Structure 1
């Protein structure tokens, strides 16, 4: 499934946070106590491939067992049925599924993961199908990686689609939505806070950071705290799937990276609801640095990510 490329950007302006409306407490976390669900089928298949060394196979089997988000887009077929199946599997395991809605028109602004449906009406129909698949179950949905950080095309139209997506998903009592907000080294905190506000983050559970990127957890927590303060204390989640060694010299399949902290809702950080594996470790960012097409599982890269974290 497609990944969410992250374009290089200037170092953001340092922004002092404004006072939050009210201090948060640990009980404010809507994900408190949750354990997460999601598979990495590419890792499981690679582990079973003939010729895979026992050491590599063991690392791939371990990777396949770590809860990883399910990405939803055109490849999902009947998306309501796809989501319903994942929800059922998660319920049977006593866990909470994590989804990524990734089908907005003009997705990735023509980059490696270009695509999406062809109109706002088609997009809202698709999002409603995602919501229908979740129903009354508990689920986490990360909404449209890069859509706010890139913000290409008709900006008002895109912001309106994101607001409508949040509204549709949040009608479900157990759905927790997090609008994607780029990462700590992309868009300055003031600009991102305003984009989030306009896109309806106050109607969501919060925002998501570092999806498919490599910035450190610490830098994202600091940046997220600045954005949160500007929004009166809105919560957020951080993708830690590949940030164990921090960023490399490139955003696309950089060498020497490592998987990061395992998914958890016990972060020990005020307003950080969870560390999640949103990007599927081992899936290529695109045809760069020797990688296959975006979203294709790349066994040697997956093994390197796991080995570097040992």
Structure 2
């Protein structure tokens, strides 16, 4: 862990001489480094919880009252992020805003809504299970900016009564750190950088907190990859400073765009605090996601980037479920991970969150009979309920 530095100014005067110059007038206090999740309720997405009615019915049919009741508890209180992965899914933002406002009126508690922005041209360049709708060879970057980013930004800008935590383009920059030997990734690199830089520039609102995707400890957490990852992230943030936000005419004044930090383990299965250290992590200092955040933090700070993290714990593998870190698709056995919380015992971690909605398949791989990526897989979600972290039902 890395303690937050503070500056204490002590003024003492043993004696005062008439001719002494006056003390300087204090300037404004520096802005506080406020965790945007602190003191807010993590938004519970009714669109996701409604899907769990199928899981509840399955347990009831099996006569499993214990797990059926667990499903009801999950539906009531577990927060997940809302994914916007296609232009046709931009309405998901409208639905989330409406539901979050209703929850605030019902409970009197301020909401923070988790969103994922995920529609780069040539997306998923190294795997292909989650290839998107846009291709750079077909004016994909231009469409991404005008038809996806612009309405995305307009929708969140119009809801300043809510806070948003937005994860930018899972897996993209991780591929640029480690997979440039793949021709498709090498070709996609400038598109990824420009696309994400435009997203950063377009979402500079006080109530929006941006977290760039930083893959996970098994991918970028190796000692050789940590400085390369930080440099790649810094390159994109710097690039965003040269981009004019939507609606502005001309380059405008020089600006410095801000991100809050980084998201790790999105759609993956790594534990935040591993109870058992798996054999395949032997040579890594980032053997769970808490250690990965702590390992990456100093390299981010050296590049002038904020070392703040959110960590996806929507699904966590059970010990022994994987033979190697590279297994990422519908890993089993697994369970819902720790409930979203800002109590992390790691000063660089803002919150544990559920970014990947449990029950949505990773693709037709891993678990036998798994459907296409994004499709609901109720047999799998039943397993997640049965193996869930106890904090989910507390």
TM-score w.r.t. the length of structure 2 is: 0.67
- Any idea what the Cα deviations from partners look like across 1:154-192, whole Å, max 9, x if unmatched? 3122112111101211x2210011011100001221121
- Distance verdict in 2 for CA 1:108–1:24, change over 3 Å: farther
- Any idea what the Cα deviations from partners look like across 1:206-234, whole Å, max 9, x if unmatched? 01000010112131121122222112152
Q: In the alignment, is residue 281 of structure 1 matched against residue 358 of structure 2?
A: yes
Structure 1 residues 29-48: aligned runs within 5 Å: 29-39=35-45, 40=48, 41-48=50-57
Conserved 8 A contact 1:80-1:131: no
1:81 is matched with which residue: 94, 116, 122? 94
Counterpart of 2:295 in structure 1 is 226
Which residues of structure 1 form unaligned runs of 5+? Answer: 1-16
Structure 1 CA distance for aligned equivalents of residues 100 and 310 of structure 2: 20
Counterpart of 2:226 in structure 1 is 189
Counterpart of 1:160 in structure 2 is 194
Conserved 8 A contact 2:84-2:90: no
User: Which stretch shows the higher mean deviation, 287-296 or 24-33?
Assistant: 24-33
Conserved 8 A contact 1:244-1:261: no
CA RMSD, aligned part only? Answer: 2.7
Counterpart of 1:145 in structure 2 is 170
Q: In the alignment, is residue 133 of structure 1 matched against residue 166 of structure 2?
A: no
- Any idea what the Cα deviations from partners look like across 1:75-127, whole Å, max 9, x if unmatched? 41546534543443454353211111111111222611111434222212312
Instruction: Choose 1 or 2 for highest CA Rg.
Output: 2
Counterpart of 1:241 in structure 2 is 314
CA apart distance, 1:306 = 1.7
- Distance verdict in 2 for CA 1:27–1:157, change over 3 Å: closer
Conserved 8 A contact 1:35-1:265: no
1:120 is matched with which residue: 137, 141, 157? 141
Structure 1 CA distance for aligned equivalents of residues 55 and 205 of structure 2: 36
User: Which stretch shows the higher mean deviation, 83-92 or 146-155?
Assistant: 83-92
CA apart distance, 1:252 = 0.8
Counterpart of 1:64 in structure 2 is 75
- Distance verdict in 2 for CA 1:24–1:225, change over 3 Å: farther
Which residues of structure 2 form unaligned runs of 5+? Answer: 8-31, 177-184, 239-256, 274-287
Structure 1 residues 102-113: aligned runs within 5 Å: 102-109=118-125, 111-113=128-130
Structure 2 CA distance for aligned equivalents of residues 241 and 24 of structure 1: 34
CA apart distance, 1:248 = 2.4
Counterpart of 1:200 in structure 2 is 237
- Distance verdict in 2 for CA 1:173–1:47, change over 3 Å: same
Conserved 8 A contact 2:82-2:92: no
- Distance verdict in 2 for CA 1:44–1:194, change over 3 Å: farther
Counterpart of 2:10 in structure 1 is none
Counterpart of 1:5 in structure 2 is none
Structure 1 residues 16-35: aligned runs within 5 Å: 23=5, 28-35=34-41
Name the SS for the 2:335 alignment partner: coil
- Distance verdict in 2 for CA 1:211–1:258, change over 3 Å: same
- Distance verdict in 2 for CA 1:63–1:111, change over 3 Å: farther
Aligned length: 291
Counterpart of 1:209 in structure 2 is 264
- Any idea what the Cα deviations from partners look like across 1:225-264, whole Å, max 9, x if unmatched? 2222112152111001112636623311121111111011
- Any idea what the Cα deviations from partners look like across 1:43-77, whole Å, max 9, x if unmatched? 13432468464434333333333111111122415
Counterpart of 2:205 in structure 1 is 172
- Distance verdict in 2 for CA 1:190–1:30, change over 3 Å: same
